[in-house]
Amino acid sequence: MKKKMEKALNKQVNAELYSSYLYLAMESYFQSISLSGCAKWMRGQVQEEMFHGMKIYDYVHERGGRVQFQAIAKPETQWESPLAAFEHILAHEEKVTELINDLIDVALEVRDHAAKAFLDWFIVEQVEEEATVGEIVDRLRLIGNDSSGLFLLDSELGKRVFTLPVK
C-alpha cells in the first residue's frame, strides 16, 4: 500500500475512535439527565464507531501497513438539550462523510482500487447513519418542550440492540 494511503487510513482510525469517545461522552450526558433510553442508544453508537475504527485498523494490517497511534482529542461533555446533542451527532456524521469522501479521493489519486472498494462500505454506512440521526433530530424538533413525547422517544431509543455488522 502506498504511504499516502496508509497515512490517510491511519488518520481515519483516529477519527473513528474519536467518534466513539465523543458518543461515550454523550452517553454519560444522557445518563446524567436520566434519559436512559437515549444513553442505551448512544452505547450502540460507541460500539459501532469502535467497530468502524477496528475495521480500518484490520485493513491497514491486512495490506501490510502499520497503525500509528495518535492522541484522541478530548470531546465535548455537555449539551444544552437532547436536541442539541443529536444535532451535534448529525453535524459530526456529516463531517465524517466528508472525511470518507476525502479518503476515496486519495485512493483514486494513488490508483488504489482495493482501498476504494474497501471504503465503499463506509459510504453506504454514512448514508444510513445520517438518515437515522436526521430522523431523530426531526422528531425531537417536533416534540419541542413536550416531556411526554420525549419520554416516549427515549423508551423507543432504549430498545436499540447493537449487533456487529456482517463483514
The residue within the footprint of ligand FEO, chosen from 52, 82, 118, 150 (CB under 6 A), is: 52
Can you tell me whether residue 111 is helix, strand or coil?
coil
Q: Does 153 bind ligand FEO (CB under 6 A)?
A: no
Q: Does 154 bind ligand FEO (CB under 6 A)?
A: no
- Report residue 73 as a C-alpha cell: 482529542
Q: Does 13 bind ligand FEO (CB under 6 A)?
A: no
The Cα 142–Cα 40 span in angstroms is 22
Least distance in angstroms from the C-beta of 16 to ligand FEO: 5
How would DSSP label each residue in 57-110?
HHHHHHTT--PPP-PPPPPP---SSHHHHHHHHHHHHHHHHHHHHHHHHHHHHT
The residue within the footprint of ligand FEO, chosen from 6, 9, 14, 16 (CB under 6 A), is: 16
Confirm if 92 and 129 have CB atoms less than 8 A apart.
Answer: no
Least distance in angstroms from the C-beta of 165 to ligand FEO: 11
Q: Does 27 bind ligand FEO (CB under 6 A)?
A: no
Count of residues that interact with ligand FEO, criterion CB under 6 A: 7
**Residue nearer to ligand FEO on the CB measure, 62 or 128:** 128
Least distance in angstroms from the C-beta of 45 to ligand FEO: 7
The Cα 148–Cα 28 span in angstroms is 22
Interface residues with ligand FEO (CB under 6 A) are: 16, 19, 49, 52, 93, 96, 129
